[in-house]
Amino acid sequence: MTDVSSQGPRPDDQRAQLTNRQGHPVYDNQNQRTVGSRGPATLENYQFLEKISHFDRERIPERVVHARGATSYGYFEAYGKWGDEPVNRYTRAKLFQEAGKRTDIALRFSTVIGGRDSSEAARDPRGFAIKFYTEDGNWDLVGNDLAVFFIRDAIKFPDVIHALKPDPVTFRQDPNRIFDFMSQSPESMHMIVNLFSPRGIPADYRHMQGFGVNTYKWVNAEGETVLVKYTWMPKQGVRSMTEEDAANVQAGDLGHATKDLHDAIERGEYPEWELLVQMMSDDEHPELDFDPLDDTKTWPEQDFPPRPVGRLVLDRNVGNQFAENEQISFGTGVLVDGLDFSDDKMLVGRTFSYSDTQRYRVGPNYLQLPVNQAKGSGVNTNQRDGLMTYHQDKGGENPHVNYEPSINGGLREAQFPTYDEQGPEITGRLTRKRIQRTNDYKQAGQRYCLMERWEQDDLVNNFINQLSQCDRPIQERMVWHFLLVDDDLGLRVGEGLGISPGDVAQLEPLQSQTLTEEDRDRLANLG
Ligand code: HEM
C-alpha cells in the first residue's frame, strides 16, 4: 500500500505551498496524526483541530429576509442635473453635483422569503440594494422591484414576514396563512395586485426596475428640504415570467438569476440602470388623496414627473460570495450629507432593524469588513474593540486619547454646517394611530386597469389558484377587498371561487381600516 504522506510534492511543482492559518507548512493534508496507523487520535493535533473547528463555524446566520442574493460592483455616474435643472437647487449631496462624476457602488439583488439556496424563480418581491462608496462616506439605498410594500407601519413587519415564510409546524409556505394576514391588512392590496401579476416573477435581475419605495428627503446648501422617491429603470428593458415559465426555469436551475447576472458581466455585457427622482415640497400635501409618507402608494407621474439624475453600470463580479455577497450589510440609516430621512413610519423602523440584525448576523465590527468599509472617506472613531476587531482606529494624533472632548490631541467634532435645516416644524401628542389618508384601494385599482388583458388574466388566475387553497372566510374577505379595488377584478376572482358580490355584501369593514367616500359607494352597491 502507498503511504500518501510520505510522497511529498514533485521537485518541479511550482504551486504555492499549503499552510495552516498560523503559516505553518502542511506536510500531510490526508491523514490525521494518530498513535499507529489505526489510531487513536491525539488531542494535541493542532492542524486537524484548527481545520475542522474553522469548518464548524463556516456559516453565519443567514439574513432573516432576503437570504438569497447576488452582488456585483460598478459605478454611478451623475448627470449634475435633475431633469433640466441644476441638481444643487435641491440637494447638496456631492455624488450628484457634477456631470460625469463617478462613484463606486456595490449592488445586491435578492429574493425575500426563501433561504440562501432557494429558487430565484419564486413569486416574491426582489430586493434592489445599492451601496455608494462616496467621498462623504457610504450611502445605502435599500429598495425593491415593485415600488410599494405590504404594510405602512414597521411594527407589522415581523407579522407580514411570518405569514409569508413557511408554516412553523409543516415548514411549507401556505396560501391560507398568507391570505389570512393580507385579508386583515387592507393596506397590502396595492402590493399584492403587483406581486400576483406577471411582475411578481421578474425574468432575472438584469431585466427589472428598482425603487427606493420609502420617501426620503433631499437637502440643499440653504438647508431647504424636499420629499423624494427614487426609481431605477433598466436599459435592458423589463421582463417577467408566468408561473409556467418559472416552473420550467426552476426545474433546471434554482439560481438562474445569479448566473445570468454573473455571465453577462463576464461577457462584458454590463447591465445599466438610469436613476429617476420624483420630488414634492416637504409638507403634508392635504390636497392629495394619499399621504406622501405612505409606502403603499406611488406618486402619480403626471403630477410628480420622474426626472433623470444619473446612471449606474455593473461591470465587475464579486471575487468571493461569502465575503462580498453574504457579509455585505446595507441599511436605510446610511445616508450622506444632502440626503435625509422622512418621517415615513416604515423608514424609521427599518433604520433601527438593519444595523441591529447586522450586529447579530455578521458581528459588532461588520463595518470593518472591506465590502462594508467607507472607502471614499476616512473613518476615525472612538469606538473600540469587540469581537473580531481588525482595524486599529488610532483616533487623532494621540493614540492614548480614545475619548472626546479632550485637550490632548484626540479627535475633534466635524465643522457644523453653517445652514440650519428648513424642513417643517412638527408638534403633536404621543399616540398610536394609523395615518388618516389610508385610501387602500384606489391605486391598487388603477394598477389593475393599467395592466394589459393578459396580465389581468394572469393575476386573476393566480389569485384564484392561491385562494382556492384558503378557508372560506378568508376567500370571502379577499373577494370583498377585490370588489373595492376594481369591479372586474372582484367579479372575476369571485366567479372563480364561487363567491358573488351578494355573498360578501353583509361583511362589515375591518376595524383596522378607514374607508373613503368612493369605497362606501362601492360597498353600498355590492348587495
Ligand atoms: C433586508 C428589515 C422593509 C428591502 C432586510 C433585513 C432586515 C430587514 C432585518 C436583513 C438585513 C441583513 O441581514 O443584512 C426590514 C424591516 C422592514 C423592512 C424591519 C419594515 C419595517 C423593507 C422594505 C424594503 C426592504 C419596505 C424595500 C423597499 C430590503 C432589502 C434587503 C432587506 C433589499 C436586502 C439587503 C441586502 O441585499 O443585504 N430587511 N425591512 N425592506 N430589506 Fe428590509
- Count of other CB atoms within 10 angstroms of residue 31: 11
Binding site listing for heme = 354
Query: Residue 54 and residue 362: Cα distance in Å, rounded?
Result: 16
Alpha-carbon distances of 495 from 182, 345, 502, 514, rounded to whole Å: 20, 37, 12, 27
pLDDT of residue 2: 45
Q: Are 83 and 91 in contact (CB under 8 A)?
A: no
pTM: 0.94
Is 24 a residue of the active site?
no
Query: Residue 195 and residue 150: Cα distance in Å, rounded?
Result: 10
Q: Are 89 and 96 in contact (CB under 8 A)?
A: no
pLDDT digits (tens, 9 = 90+) for 12-51: 888 999 998 888 889 999 999 999 999 889 888 889 989 8
Query: Residue 293 and residue 345: Cα distance in Å, rounded?
Result: 8
Query: Residue 60 and residue 62: Cα distance in Å, rounded?
Result: 6
- Count of other CB atoms within 10 angstroms of residue 317: 18
- Count of other CB atoms within 10 angstroms of residue 43: 7
Gap between the terminal Cα atoms of the chain: 88
Q: Are 87 and 96 in contact (CB under 8 A)?
A: yes
Relative to the CA of 64, which ligand 1 atom is closest? Answer: 10
The CA-based diameter of the chain, rounded to the nearest angstrom, is 90
Cα–ligand 1 centroid distance for 348 (angstroms): 12
pLDDT of residue 7: 64
Is 481 a residue of the active site?
no
Whose cell is 462613484? That residue is 103
Query: Residue 84 and residue 416: Cα distance in Å, rounded?
Result: 31
Give a three-class secondary structure readout of 463-496: HHHHHCCCCHHHHHHHHHHHHHHCHHHHHHHHHH
Residue whose CA lies nearest to ligand 1 atom number 22: 350
pLDDT of residue 3: 52
Among the listed residues 20, 31, 54, 66, the single catalytic one is 66
DSSP string, 362-390: T-TTGGGSTTTS--SS----S----TT--
pLDDT digits (tens, 9 = 90+) for 210-231: 999 999 999 999 999 999 999 9
Q: Are 192 and 60 in contact (CB under 8 A)?
A: no
Query: Which residues, at least 6 apart from 304, have a Cβ–Cβ distance to it below 8 Å?
Result: 229, 278, 279, 280
* Set of cell numbers at residue 139: 450611502
Residues of the chain with pLDDT under 50: 1-2, 4-5
Cα–ligand 1 centroid distance for 31 (angstroms): 45
* Chain mean position to CA 101: 26
pLDDT of residue 477: 98
CA angle 147, 151, 154 (to 5 degrees): 110
Q: Which helix (H) or strand (E) holds 163?
A: helix 157-164
* Set of cell numbers at residue 223: 438647508
Q: Are 60 and 101 in contact (CB under 8 A)?
A: no
pLDDT of residue 1: 43
Q: What's the ipTM? A: 0.96
Ligand 1 pocket (Cβ < 6 Å) reads 63-66, 69, 108, 110, 127, 129, 142-144, 149, 154, 157, 213, 295, 328-330, 346, 349-350, 353-354, 357-358, 361
pLDDT of residue 395: 77
Among the listed residues 138, 144, 220, 325, the single catalytic one is 144
Mutate to test the pocket of ligand 1, among 60, 63, 111 (most ligand atoms within 8 A of CB): 63
